[in-house]
């Protein structure tokens, strides 16, 4: 079986005419046919479309008209991203026959960049309820151990990339739905700054917390994919009109001189992470320090404060969107989605105003803490993936999340694999930056990844 390439590697080979986009696509279609029955990462395979995209990419390759590093690259979309003429279900019975007439803004951007679309990927129902076994399709499985959870909600994207079914894919992140699957599937995933990527055509969960972003095997690949997604869209009221930087411009500059703060209390006392997770973060901090970064501990409000603000806003915004369907078709939702979102009924008007007031206080706190820092480090997840059949209904509420603080503030954050823990399952750290400093965030992540051996190891089933 051919080695699985990164996007950067494949792009170089395609540009040098040493790799055929059609052959690359056929290789990935074959991998999907062979491995996905064990993973359930795909809800829909769009083979005909993929081969047509690949043929067009190869024609551009042969005529010297490649559109850039994403031309000819096999990708797939989380099934909350609208795809014109192609079923988009949100992994829900409510939309099982939904066929949009228009691509999401970001889907079109990637298509215009020459990507090859292989299909639509599993998600948690409407990017929130999962892992669910009572919706029309089964949940995605973790390629490192198929009895284990992928995290969510970009579950299919995480599984498909880790298993080498695709080289990159879309995710969305309202409380950690890009960074969670990236962490538990041992890949990279970046939630960009709020407003950097358009959400138009992506089925919303909670408008003020929703972010679109990419997942890939490496931080460098995330940068390449983000380049193809970011930019102003007048149709998205949150979209920011500002020049898009070169996200890979700082790669290779190393970690020297970076000012790094460690939010140690998040993962040591607020919600103590696993031994392997804490060990991986400590080793990464040692790496950054040895490379010449300035590292110090930094203190924020307890993680539970960020979590409470984010969660209450998330369920009330989600209920606002779903109430018409929930009132008419309550049992058509899976149990996890309907029961979690129904809890918005106990949140009062004054409660939600108070949550948004506190949100601003927390935003100011984080901005002040980062004034003389480039990066803050914490955990992505509590630890190694749990069994998929033992994730409690209230699991995402009971303990404070490490990812939610950056949805509450809108600051960019990336999850990077830091090795392997109990049972050989991946563990990860989270790096966050100030708004619109994605190039610096990717620089730090890339410096770490290229110095460590973790990117050389794939799940056994994928090799």
Partner 1 sequence: MSPPSTDDAELAALLKRAGLSLTVSQVKAILPGVEIVQRMIERINAPLPREAEPALTFDVEQD
Question: Which amino acids are annotated catalytic?
Answer: 78, 153, 177
Pairing of strands 188-191, 116-121: unpaired
Footprint of partner 1 on residues 273-312 (CB under 8 A)?
304-305, 307-309, 311-312
Pick one of 59, 62, 99, 361: the residue that binds partner 1 (CB under 8 A): 361
Q: How many CA atoms lie within 13 A of 435 on its CB side?
A: 15
Pick one of 289, 398, 422, 424: the residue that binds partner 1 (CB under 8 A): 398
For 23-56, b/e burial (b = at least 16 CB within 10 A) is ebbbbbbebbeebbeebbbbbbbbeebbbebbee
Contact range with partner 1 by CB under 8 A, out of 167-175, 186-194, 213-221, 318-326: 318-326
The C-alpha atoms of residue 404 and residue 413 are separated, in whole angstroms, by 10
Closest listed residue to residue 26, CA positions, set 2, 62, 6, 43: 2
The C-alpha atoms of residue 184 and residue 148 are separated, in whole angstroms, by 9
Nearer to partner 1, 351 or 389 (CB): 351
Chain centre distance of CA 138? 20
Instruction: In angstroms, give the least distance from the CB of 29 to partner 1.
Output: 41
Burial class (CB in 10 A: 0-12, 13-18, 19+), 398: exposed
Interface with partner 1 includes 423 (CB under 8 A)? no
Interface with partner 1 includes 326 (CB under 8 A)? yes
Contact pattern for partner 1 over residues 222 through 261, marking x by CB under 8 A: ---------------x------------------------
Interface with partner 1 includes 441 (CB under 8 A)? no
Q: How many residues bind partner 1 (CB under 8 A)?
A: 39
Contact pattern for partner 1 over residues 327 through 356, marking x by CB under 8 A: x--x----x---xx-xxxxxx---x-xxxx
Please check whether residue 75 is in contact with residue 115, taking contact to mean a CB–CB distance below 8 angstroms: yes
Which residues neighbour 3 within 8 Å (Cβ) at sequence distance 6 or greater?
none
Interface with partner 1 includes 55 (CB under 8 A)? no
Nearer to partner 1, 51 or 304 (CB): 304
Per the structure block, which two tokens stand in for 275? 């031994």
Interface with partner 1 includes 52 (CB under 8 A)? no
The phi, psi pair for 353, rounded to 5°, reads: -65, -40
Pick one of 256, 393, 422, 463: the residue that binds partner 1 (CB under 8 A): 393
Nearer to partner 1, 311 or 448 (CB): 311
Contact range with partner 1 by CB under 8 A, out of 184-192, 214-222, 279-287, 359-367: 359-367
Place of tokens 């973060």: 281
Instruction: In angstroms, give the least distance from the CB of 134 to partner 1.
Output: 12
Please check whether residue 288 is in contact with residue 260, taking contact to mean a CB–CB distance below 8 angstroms: yes
Nearer to partner 1, 141 or 358 (CB): 358
Applying CB under 8 A, the residues found at the interface with partner 1 are 208, 237, 304-305, 307-309, 311-312, 315, 319, 323, 326-327, 330, 335, 339-340, 342-347, 351, 353-361, 363, 393-394, 397-398
């Amino acid at each position: 079986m051919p080695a699985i390439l990164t996007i950067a590697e494949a792009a170089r080979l395609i540009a040098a005419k040493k790799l055929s986009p059609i052959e690359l696509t056929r290789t990935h279609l074959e991998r999907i046919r062979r491995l996905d029955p064990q993973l359930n990462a795909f809800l829909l395979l769009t083979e005909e479309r993929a081969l047509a995209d690949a043929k067009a990419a190869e024609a551009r390759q042969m005529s010297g008209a490649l559109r850039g590093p994403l031309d000819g690259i096999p990708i797939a979309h989380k099934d909350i991203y609208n795809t014109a003429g192609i079923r988009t279900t949100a992994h829900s019975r409510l939309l099982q026959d939904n066929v949009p007439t228009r691509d999401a803004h970001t889907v079109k951007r990637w298509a215009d960049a020459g990507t090859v679309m292989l299909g639509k990927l599993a998600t948690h129902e409407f990017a929130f309820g999962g892992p669910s076994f009572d919706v029309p399709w089964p949940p995605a499985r973790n390629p490192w151990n198929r009895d284990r959870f992928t995290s969510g909600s970009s579950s299919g994207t995480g599984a498909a990339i880790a298993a080498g079914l695709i080289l990159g894919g879309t995710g969305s992140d309202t409380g950690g739905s890009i960074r969670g699957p990236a962490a538990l599937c041992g890949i990279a995933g970046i939630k960009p700054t709020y407003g950097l990527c358009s959400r138009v055509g992506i089925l919303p969960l909670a408008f003020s917390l929703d972010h679109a972003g990419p997942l890939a095997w490496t931080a460098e690949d995330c940068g390449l994919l983000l380049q193809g997604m970011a930019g102003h869209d007048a149709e998205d009221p949150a979209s920011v009109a500002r020049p898009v930087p070169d996200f890979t411009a700082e790669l290779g500059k190393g970690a020297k001189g970076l000012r790094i703060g460690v939010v140690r209390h998040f993962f040591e006392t607020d919600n103590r992470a696993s031994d392997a997770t804490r060990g991986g973060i400590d080793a990464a901090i040692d790496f950054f320090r040895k490379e010449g970064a300035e590292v110090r501990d930094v203190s924020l409000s307890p993680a539970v404060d960020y979590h409470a603000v984010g969660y209450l806003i998330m369920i009330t915004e989600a209920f606002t969107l779903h109430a018409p369907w929930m009132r008419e078709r309550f049992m058509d939702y899976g149990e996890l989605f309907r029961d979690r979102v129904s809890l918005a009924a106990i949140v009062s008007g004054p409660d939600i105003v108070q949550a948004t007031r506190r949100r601003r206080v927390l935003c100011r706190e984080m901005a002040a803490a980062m004034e003389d820092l480039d990066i803050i480090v914490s955990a992505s997840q509590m630890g190694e993936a749990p069994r998929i059949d033992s994730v409690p209904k209230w699991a995402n509420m009971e303990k404070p999340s490490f990812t939610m603080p950056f949805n509450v503030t809108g600051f960019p954050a990336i999850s990077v694999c830091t090795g392997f823990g109990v049972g050989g399952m991946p563990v990860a750290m989270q790096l966050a930056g100030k708004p619109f400093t994605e190039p610096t965030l990717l620089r730090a992540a890339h410096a770490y990844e290229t110095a460590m051996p973790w990117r050389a190891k794939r799940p056994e089933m994928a090799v």
